Amino acid sequence: MKELTIDATVENIQKVTSFVDEQLESLNCPVKAQMQIDIAIDELFGNIAHYAYNPEVGPATVRVDVLQAPLSVVVTFIDNGVAYDPLAREDPDVALTAEEREIGGLGIYMVKKSMDEISYEYKDGQNILRIKKEI
């Protein structure tokens, strides 16, 4: 397991992405899977940066675990911000046009569709969101 704790700011999304990509590249992760994980990082860490501590800034921890059989990567996002389960929100109706659709929810929907597993729990004052991708 590798772990990075960093201020939850939009400016740090690239640092988090680079940290995770370093682990993925050591596993010879396929480009498509890496791009899907990078998009998920952008969405999930971006949400933490925008909403967890608003208007303050607080820490977020990102963990990368590698599982065998099948080879998979689990990326866990942990913050001490406001409790919020992004998976509880109803998926947007993607059959509607952008103008007809309510604002919000599309990013997490894309993450759900591109990852093999996604889970959320609030435990001991922490939001814990995990994504898993088989590589």
pLDDT at residue 88, rounded to an integer: 87
Mean pLDDT of each 10-residue bin along the chain, 135 residues long: 97 98 95 97 95 94 95 97 88 62 70 96 97 96
Rounded CA separation 41/38 (Å): 5
pLDDT at residue 77, rounded to an integer: 98
Write out the residue range of the structural domain in which residue 93 sits. Answer: 2-134
Rounded CA separation 99/65 (Å): 39
Give one DSSP letter per residue of 37-101, joined into a string: HHHHHHHHHHHIIIIISTTS--EEEEEEEEETTTTEEEEEEEE-SS---TTSSPPP-TTS-TTTS
pLDDT at residue 53, rounded to an integer: 95
Residue pair 62/17 in contact by the 8 Å Cβ criterion: no
Largest distance between two CA atoms of the chain? 44
Total tally of structural domains belonging to the chain: 1
Identify which of 115, 130, 36 has the alpha carbon closest to the alpha carbon of residue 78. Answer: 130
Residue pair 87/131 in contact by the 8 Å Cβ criterion: no
pLDDT at residue 109, rounded to an integer: 84
CATH number of the domain bearing residue 87: 3.30.565.10
